[in-house]
């Protein structure tokens, strides 16, 4: 049985508790394995670890304003691919009219996150209404379409050749963060039955290994009268998430894990009270990004650890460099002006390196890498 080499010690002037009791005038940096799940070391620096004057090369942090992408693709497979690797694909879809074809992902489970607007999801399993802040997890092979009355924006996260699962909630039990009873599934309701009566034929666009096949039917294939089993799409709204928190300790992002895949995790940041212990950090701690690429999509609210970020933007921090809060946030490391955070964001941490897609270039904020520079 393999295990990490066991080392546990304190050297020099250091706190004996992570994220608390920092030596005066220092900045804490975490270096860890397996994201935040493995062994870690905590350094106390005289200067902010992100206080660079220049940053060159492919590891530079990047920010994309996805609200500047064009509107109009009626198929999810025509939406802008922003980031991708062999296990995960991230797209941003700006849909301006109802889908006129069905979609089916034969490459993996699909996670839809509705950034704004409302939609009706029709799929093999029935009908499910969606509103801003909803996750909709569609199992691999599900046929589906969206009907809308006004334009919507959707973040799509594909779990390529793998399934989405729920994390083990350990000591707090399976009903913490969100109770499984809060997950909604499609219903074979009046709206679903009504759409079956359409006399026109339907085409299904099936994506497999990145290629699209089109299958045409003379009827609507979403014509099930019932189903049973243990596999179905589920809906979860971010406002139904009740986050873990500690008034004495700043929890790592892993505490906010919502869905797991084989090579990445999806976390959700929602409003929570700030830590009240006077010696506990009240901003995210600096950390090395060594095992995972980090992607954050900013959905709503005031993003207290970031400057010049607004809803609909996405940041990408490749593995390999130290990252953390912006300089303005550092002035509130131990004392916040508000009692609670006010932000909703989706984080995707991938074990394998992501490639930036062609859809990213035109909407990149190239000055993001310089936003950590302290201005005189």
For residue 376, pLDDT over 70 is answered with no
- Residue 28: what pLDDT? 96
Q: Region 237-262: what's the mean pLDDT?
A: 95
For residue 220, pLDDT over 70 is answered with yes
Provide the 10 A C-beta neighbour count for residue 11.
Answer: 7
- Residue 2: what pLDDT? 83
Q: What is the DSSP letter of 353?
A: -
- Residue 375: what pLDDT? 67
- Residue 328: what pLDDT? 86
Task: Report domain extents, the chain.
Answer: 27-63+243-366, 70-238
Q: What is the pLDDT of residues 34-46, one digit of tens each?
A: 888 889 999 999 9
Query: How far is residue 317 CA from its own chain's centroid?
Result: 13
Q: Considering the entire predicted model, what is its pTM? A: 0.96
78: left (phi > 0), else alpha (psi -120 to 50), else beta? alpha
* List of E strands, 55-186: 62-65, 80-84, 88-95, 102-105, 108-116, 118-123, 126-131, 134-138, 143-147, 152-160
Q: What is the pLDDT of residues 104-161, one digit of tens each?
A: 999 999 999 999 999 999 999 999 999 999 999 999 999 999 999 999 999 999 999 9
Cβ–Cβ < 8 Å for 142, 123: yes
- Residue 37: what pLDDT? 85
Separation between Cα atoms, residue 128 and residue 105, nearest integer Å: 18
Residue % of the chain over a pLDDT of 70: 99
For residue 361, pLDDT over 90 is answered with no
- Residue 311: what pLDDT? 96
Query: How far is residue 262 CA from its own chain's centroid?
Result: 15
- Residue 349: what pLDDT? 97
Q: What is the pLDDT of residues 280-303, one digit of tens each?
A: 999 999 998 789 999 999 999 988
Separation between Cα atoms, residue 22 and residue 28, nearest integer Å: 7
Cβ–Cβ < 8 Å for 154, 161: no
For residue 358, pLDDT over 70 is answered with yes
Which has the closest alpha carbon to 102: 277, 221, 229?
A: 221
Q: Region 238-258: what's the mean pLDDT?
A: 95
Give the 3-state secondary structure of residue 90: strand
Separation between Cα atoms, residue 364 and residue 68, nearest integer Å: 9
For residue 374, pLDDT over 80 is answered with no
- Residue 62: what pLDDT? 95
The least confident of 28-37, 41-50, 171-180, 231-240 is: 28-37
Separation between Cα atoms, residue 64 and residue 66, nearest integer Å: 6
CATH number of 70-238: 2.60.120.10
Q: Region 27-55: what's the mean pLDDT?
A: 93
Separation between Cα atoms, residue 334 and residue 265, nearest integer Å: 29
70-238 matches 27-63+243-366 in CATH topology: yes
At the topology level, CATH places domain 27-63+243-366 in Jelly Rolls (2.60.120)
With residue 300 as reference, give the H or E element that holds it: strand 293-302
Q: What is the DSSP letter of 187?
A: B
Residue % of the chain over a pLDDT of 90: 86
CA-to-CA dists, residue 216 to 75, 106, 109, 137, 187, angstroms: 15, 17, 23, 25, 25
Cβ–Cβ < 8 Å for 306, 359: no
């Amino acid at each position: 049985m393999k295990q990490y080499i066991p080392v546990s010690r304190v050297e020099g002037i250091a706190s004996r508790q992570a994220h608390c009791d920092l030596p005066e005038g220092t900045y804490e940096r975490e270096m860890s394995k397996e994201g935040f799940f493995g062994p870690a070391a905590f350094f106390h620096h005289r200067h902010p670890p992100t206080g660079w004057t220049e940053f060159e090369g492919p590891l530079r942090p990047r920010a994309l304003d996805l609200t500047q992408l064009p509107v109009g693709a009626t198929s999810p497979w025509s939406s802008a691919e922003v980031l991708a690797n062999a296990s995960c694909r991230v797209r941003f879809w700006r849909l301006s009219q109802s889908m006129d074809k069905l979609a089916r992902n034969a490459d993996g489970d699909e996670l839809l996150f509705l950034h704004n607007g409302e939609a009706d999801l029709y799929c093999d399993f029935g009908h499910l209404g969606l509103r801003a802040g909803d996750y909709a997890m569609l199992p691999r092979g599900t046929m589906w379409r969206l009907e809308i009355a006004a334009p919507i924006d959707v973040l799509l996260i594909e779990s390529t050749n793998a399934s989405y699962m729920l994390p083990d909630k350990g000591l707090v039990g399976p009903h913490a963060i969100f109770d499984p009873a809060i997950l909604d599934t499609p219903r074979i309701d009046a709206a679903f039955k009504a759409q079956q009566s359409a006399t026109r034929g339907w085409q299904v666009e099936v994506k497999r290994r990145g290629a699209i096949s089109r299958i045409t039917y003379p009827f609507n294939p979403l014509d099930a009268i019932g189903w049973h089993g243990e596999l179905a799409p589920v809906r979860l709204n971010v406002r139904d998430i009740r986050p873990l928190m500690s008034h004495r300790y700043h929890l790592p992002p892993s505490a906010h894990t919502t869905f797991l895949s084989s090579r990445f995790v999806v976390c959700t940041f929602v409003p929570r009270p700030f830590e009240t212990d006077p010696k506990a950090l009240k901003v995210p701690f600096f950390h090395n990004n060594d095992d995972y690429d980090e992607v954050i999509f900013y959905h709503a609210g005031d993003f207290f650890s970031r400057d010049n970020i607004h809803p609909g933007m996405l940041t990408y921090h490749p593995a390999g460099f130290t990252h953390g809060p912006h300089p303005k946030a550092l002035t509130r490391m131990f004392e916040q002006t508000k009692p609670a955070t006010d932000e909703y964001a989706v984080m995707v941490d991938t074990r394998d390196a992501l490639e930036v897609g062609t859809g990213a270039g035109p909407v990149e904020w190239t000055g993001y890498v310089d936003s950590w520079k302290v201005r005189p």
